[in-house]
């Protein structure tokens, strides 16, 4: 605790303002999604929701294959979330607890890859995807997303601090293989952290824009982000429609957030900075 016991009133004020800033754009999005363009561009601004929600939502569904895009996003983000949770735990385990030649160098390489801005190389990435015949497919989004240097770093930290060498040694004496140790001991121990990693990966993949934008071309392959963009595409912009789509695309994450938000907060904070 800091010096004084009492929390100053202005602390709450600042926090309230910060919260307002965080939530207001989303709220305003909802307001426009329930009214229309004319209301959105009126001054003084309208901040009370209207009754146009279902009409606009219906329009969203008929303009782009929206349900399909949500499903696509779920598949991509879900697979990446689960994939990262498992693969990064596995690799993190190897780096944290297994001894093998080149371990430190290889880990350094992993860390260094975090500095490589792979977004730049989209042009050759696109060419490779073409060669594989993966253009306009979901695997083009999923497979590259499974490699997360950050995730490996994160899981390694957690494993290093929660899995003691004694347990490891005891298991070895009992004749356990690395895989058994991982699956039966290590993974269960760090499941909370892996879960959070999976969540972060999920959110990131859900919101990813540039790569899906380049790779996906048929509307039924769109992810939610690209579908929102597609709503914006007619020469005249219908704000009500665009906001409705935006709101609907954010809704699944909000729902998820209500359930696991607290865990996300805890997990992020429990992060890799104990080591």
Q: Which stretch binds other proteins (CB under 8 A): 36-44, 51-59, 157-165, 187-195?
A: 36-44
Name the residue nearer to other proteins (CB basis): 52 or 113: 113
Name the residue nearer to other proteins (CB basis): 27 or 54: 27
- Kindly identify the residues of this chain, within the stretch 106-165, that bind other proteins according to CB under 8 A: 106, 110, 113-128, 130-131, 134-144, 146-149, 152
Give how far Cα 82 sits from Cα of 137, 190, 266, Å: 19, 14, 19
For residue 54, the minimal CB distance to other proteins (Å) is: 19
Name the residue nearer to other proteins (CB basis): 51 or 100: 100
Q: Which stretch binds other proteins (CB under 8 A): 49-57, 87-95, 158-166, 188-196?
A: 87-95
Closest CA to 55 of 226, 229, 241, 234: 241
Report the distance separating Cα 98 and Cα 91, nearest Å: 10
Q: Are 39 and 32 in contact (CB under 8 A)?
A: yes
Closest CA to 228 of 28, 31, 37, 33: 33
Name the residue nearer to other proteins (CB basis): 54 or 209: 209
Q: Residues touching other proteins: how many (CB under 8 A)? A: 135
Q: Which stretch binds other proteins (CB under 8 A): 48-56, 94-102, 157-165, 190-198?
A: 94-102
**Binding string to other proteins for residues 182 to 221, with x set by CB under 8 A, is what?**
x--------------------x--xx-xx---x--xxxxx
Please report whether residue 14 would count as binding other proteins according to CB under 8 A.
yes
Name the residue nearer to other proteins (CB basis): 54 or 255: 255
**Binding string to other proteins for residues 231 to 250, with x set by CB under 8 A, is what?**
-xxxxxxxx--xx-xxx-xx
- For residue 185, give every residue at least 6 positions away whose Cβ sits within 8 Å of its Cβ, in sequence order, or none: 163, 167, 168, 171
Classify 124 in phi/psi space as left (phi over 0), alpha (psi -120 to 50) or beta: alpha
Closest CA to 241 of 87, 64, 81: 64
DSSP string covering 189-228, please? Answer: HHHHHHHHHHHHHHHHHHH--HHHHHH--SGGG--HHHHH
Please report whether residue 45 would count as binding other proteins according to CB under 8 A.
yes
């Amino acid at each position: 605790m800091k010096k004084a016991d009492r929390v100053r009133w202005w602390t709450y004020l600042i926090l309230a303002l910060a919260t307002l800033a965080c939530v207001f754009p989303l709220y305003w999005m909802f307001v426009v999604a329930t009214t229309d363009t004319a209301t959105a561009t009126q001054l003084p601004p309208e901040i009370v929701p209207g009754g146009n929600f279902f009409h606009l939502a219906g329009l969203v569904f008929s303009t782009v294959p929206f349900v399909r895009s949500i499903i696509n996003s779920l598949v991509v983000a879900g697979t990446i979330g689960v994939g990262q949770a498992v693969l990064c735990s596995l690799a993190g385990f190897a780096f944290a607890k297994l001894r093998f030649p080149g371990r430190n160098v290889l880990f350094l390489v992993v860390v260094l890859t975090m500095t490589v801005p792979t977004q730049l190389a989209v042009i050759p990435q696109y060419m490779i995807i073409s060669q594989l015949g993966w253009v306009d497919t979901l695997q083009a989004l999923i497979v590259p997303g499974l490699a997360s240097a950050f995730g490996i770093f994160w899981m390694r930290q957690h494993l290093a601090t929660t899995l003691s060498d004694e347990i490891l040694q005891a298991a070895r004496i009992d004749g356990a293989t690395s895989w058994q140790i991982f699956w039966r001991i290590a993974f269960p121990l760090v499941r909370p952290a892996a879960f959070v990693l999976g969540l972060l990966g999920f959110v990131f993949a859900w919101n990813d824009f540039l790569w899906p934008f380049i790779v996906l071309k048929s509307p039924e392959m769109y992810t939610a982000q690209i579908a929102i963009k597609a709503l914006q595409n007619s020469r005249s912009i219908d704000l009500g429609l665009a906001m409705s789509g935006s709101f609907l695309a954010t809704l699944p994450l909000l729902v998820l957030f209500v359930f696991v938000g607290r865990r996300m907060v805890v997990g992020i904070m429990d992060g890799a900075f104990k080591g």
